[in-house]
Amino acid sequence: MDKSSSCQNEKRKPALRHMGIQSVAALIQNANFKGFFTGKIYTGAGKNVCVPGLNCYSCPGAVGACPLGSLQNYLSGMKFRFPYYVLGLLLFFGALLGRAVCGFLCPFGFLQDLLYLIPFYKKNKFFADKFLRYLKYGVLLFLVILLPLSTPLTPAFCKYMCPSGTLSGIILGLWNSSIRKQMGSLFHWKLLVLLIIVVTALIVWRPFCKYLCPLGAFYGFFNRIALWRMHLDRSACISCGACSKACRMNIDPSKKPNSMECVRCGDCVRACPVKALHQGFCSPVQKKES
């Protein structure tokens, strides 16, 4: 075996390991498998606990609660209650992992990765990309915080946008005719949003994560201080640009290894020819020259 094929195999193994972690995380968060065949939502004790990623409470397989849905339920209640529990969990996940949650633990992020594997026209870099990235902060501010606060009993993000919730509605509708009858124009709007995301995910890597996800926007604020972070050995870096070329989030890890946009997928780590990049809870020990 030549060096080039050996190198490709080394890169493929960590990538497959990454997707393996994602699949296990998705299965754990949707372990109520019989729900997918009966259309019945799990209502056990697990629903009192928020999972770290975007995973709709109403998904028949979900065994936990979505942190965004839970946060909005607190904020849009008839009587305001400060979301100590939900906010505390979000702060914990953010401080511990940052957007590694997006890269490894989010079921909807995993779905987008699977869609991107389908052979299709690919275009990750285009002019509007850097401007569209600000949309997710607007979604976080207006749909997740301000509208629920100002409109009682209206979890706006769940109601008007959440693609995970739309998928859950489709599954429930397949099994329950009364739910199908209630699917009006609002659900058709959400179907359109989901369709746009799905089609775009064939072309652009993780478009929802890049442009619309309020959970990713929140976790991004922690990337620079999270315990799990990217470490760059600047003394080893040869500025070859391999990491920047490999990054599908369009980041230059040699300049901003802990960018708010980084989802810790590890593509840059695998691409670095001198192993100057590393991600984890601690920086690797540098060997001193004798």
Q: State the Cα–Cα distance between residues 266 and 14, nearest whole angstrom.
A: 8
Whole-model pTM: value is: 0.91
**pLDDT tens, residue by residue, 90-143:** 999 999 999 999 999 999 999 999 999 999 999 999 999 999 999 999 999 999
DSSP state of 141: I
Residue 11: pLDDT band by 50, 70, 90 thresholds?
low
By the 8 A CB rule, do 58 and 172 touch? yes
CB-CB neighbours of 209 under 10 Å: 26
Q: What's the CATH fold of domain 228-283?
A: Alpha-Beta Plaits (3.30.70)
**pLDDT tens, residue by residue, 148-175:** 999 999 999 999 999 999 999 999 999 9
By the 8 A CB rule, do 47 and 56 touch? no
- Angle separating helix axes 107-116 and 185-203, nearest 10 degrees: 50
Q: State the Cα–Cα distance between residues 205 and 186, nearest whole angstrom.
A: 27
Q: State the Cα–Cα distance between residues 247 and 277, nearest whole angstrom.
A: 13
Domain locations along the chain: 3-220, 228-283
